[in-house]
Chain A
Amino acid sequence: QKEVEQDPGPLSVPEGAIVSLNCTYSNSAFQYFMWYRQYSRKGPELLMYTYSSGNKEDGRFTAQVDKSSKYISLFIRDSQPSDSATYLCAMSETSYDKVIFGPGTSLSVIP
């Protein structure tokens, strides 16, 4: 079993839809949870990070962490064609530890 798993997609949604992206993980020691967006031929760009469990909202993006289920989610409201990218979840045990990335989910938002 891989440490961090994501459905690779591709996920295709119409413009304006609510998108739900998810990751599961096996290491209960993870405490820092991040979401990165990666456009084609570019490096990942940090969208959000959360510490421990709970929700965090930033504009159209909401991150949720459920440590009891070892499950994290990223919700995108009012999705736009510019949101078309690969979304990577990432996590670490402490702030100083190496970051473990999921394989990414490819998202296409159709106009």
Chain B
Amino acid sequence: ETGVTQSPTHLIKTRGQQVTLRCSSQSGHNTVSWYQQALGQGPQFIFQYYREEENGRGNFPPRFSGLQFPNYSSELNVNALELDDSALYLCASSLGRGQEKLFFGSGTQLSVL
């Protein structure tokens, strides 16, 4: 059984640039959720994708967008990067829409300079 994998592991960008983060869900899981974790904080829900449709969104601006592909892998796109976007971005997969059992990847550490 393959776990959740994310790429890249680390990324450095400049303010105003755009970034794409990728996630492969755990085998058999059809739902992917994205979280932002600032240093010293708990993860904050960005949005969830279920069967290629956005299925819930947290308090993040529209410059945070995503996609889910037919193989259930997913992308998180962030436009017009701001310094406060510097964080660990976590992808979590689950079987179905239920959120009580999330399986997280190791995350992408994004630094915006």
- Which residues of A approach B to under 8 Å, CB–CB? 4, 8, 32, 34, 36, 41-46, 49, 51, 88, 90, 92, 95-104
Contacts A/B (CB < 8 Å), 11 sampled: A36-B104, A42-B106, A44-B90, A88-B43, A92-B100, A96-B99, A99-B45, A99-B99, A99-B102, A101-B35, A104-B41
Q: Given A43-B4, A92-B100, are A101 and B42 also a contact pair (CB < 8 Å)?
A: yes
Q: Given A98-B48, A98-B58, are A44 and B98 also a contact pair (CB < 8 Å)?
A: no
Tell whether, in the assembled complex, residue A101 and residue B102 are in contact, meaning their CB atoms are under 8 Å apart.
no
Task: Give Cα A46–Cα B103 distance, bound, in whole angstroms.
Answer: 7
Tell whether, in the assembled complex, residue A49 and residue B101 are in contact, meaning their CB atoms are under 8 Å apart.
yes
Tally the A-B contacts, defined by beta carbons under 8 Å.
62
**Does B66 belong to the interface (CB within 8 Å)?**
no
Partner of A101 from the list B43, B100, B107 (CB cut-off 8 Å) is B43
Q: How many residues of B contact A (CB 8 A)?
A: 24
Query: Distance (Å) between the CB of B74 and the closest chain A CB?
Result: 15
Query: Distance (Å) between the CB of A86 and the closest chain B CB?
Result: 9
Chain B interface, >50% SS class: loop
**A-B pairs with the 9 shortest C-beta distances?**
A101-B42, A43-B104, A98-B45, A95-B98, A49-B100, A96-B97, A103-B42, A101-B43, A32-B100
Complex interface: chain A residues within 8 A of B92 (CB): 43
Complex interface: chain B residues within 8 A of A34 (CB): 100
**Does B40 belong to the interface (CB within 8 Å)?**
yes
- 14 additional A-B pairs beyond A96-B97, A103-B40, A104-B41, beta carbons within 8 Å, are A4-B42, A8-B40, A43-B106, A44-B90, A45-B104, A92-B100, A95-B97, A95-B100, A98-B99, A99-B99, A101-B43, A102-B42, A103-B41, A104-B40
